[in-house]
Amino acid sequence: MMIRLVFAILLLAVAGGSYAAGGGDENLDSVHINLSDRASLQKGAATFASYCLSCHGIKFMRYNRMAEDLGISDDVLRSNFLQPSQKPGDVMDVNMSEEDAKRWFGTAPPDLSLIARSRSPEWVYTFLRSFRVDENSNTGWDNDLFADVAMPHVLYRVQENSTREEYDRVVRDLTNFLVYVAEPAKLVRYNIGIWVLIFTAVFTVLAYYLKKEYWKDIH
């Protein structure tokens, strides 16, 4: 009985960490979001910094907050994420001015801090896997989910050099990262939640033996 209870609590802890987001819209592909998968979040952050941050900011996030949340060391943060002029406490904003962006793309690339909530994880995941060549468009690309999109297919070299599964994984990690960015507190809550559950489990076992000890002479 006791053992089963402890198992149930631990199972809940594991299940709570990941959820497969099922899309309401049937045109969207479902994506496995897992905020406890640190390696995935770190890879997503690296892809974002290399391929997206030149146009899109995530201005609700600071570099050092992200590094702390995702377990990115100070050295890696400085060598892989920060420009020489940037400091760890800077917000993850984009260098391009809005006027320049409008001039180049016709539309300013939006800030992506909340994109996983304003669209959905499934939307972002499907969007990044729906680019196709279109010779008539300004960028040379169009998107099956977002017609006449002003954004070029910035991941096309990655897609070209990967299998379908590999590319899906890159985009999934990137989406996972954007889900974290849209609600960083969720990650912290999750981490606290795990400790609460472990404490509860250990405490339950202790309480059980303590009770046995107390009642031993009475029975």
| C-alpha 171 chain-centroid distance | 10
- CB 31, min distance to ligand HEC, A: 13
- CB 195, min distance to ligand HEC, A: 32
Task: Residue 121: name the closest of 36, 186, 180, 70 by CA.
Answer: 180
Considering beta carbons, is residue 105 or 208 the nearer one to ligand HEC?
105
Considering beta carbons, is residue 56 or 129 the nearer one to ligand HEC?
56
- CB 123, min distance to ligand HEC, A: 8
- Separation between Cα atoms, residue 164 and residue 161, nearest integer Å: 10
- CB 64, min distance to ligand HEC, A: 22
Contact 154, 51 (CB under 8 A): yes
Considering beta carbons, is residue 4 or 164 the nearer one to ligand HEC?
164
Considering beta carbons, is residue 28 or 151 the nearer one to ligand HEC?
151
- Separation between Cα atoms, residue 101 and residue 165, nearest integer Å: 33
Q: Which residues touch 3 (CB under 8 Å, ≥6 apart)?
A: none
Contact 201, 10 (CB under 8 A): yes
Residues that bind ligand HEC (CB under 6 A): 51-52, 54-56, 105, 107, 109-110, 112, 115, 119, 124, 127-128, 149-152, 154-155, 174
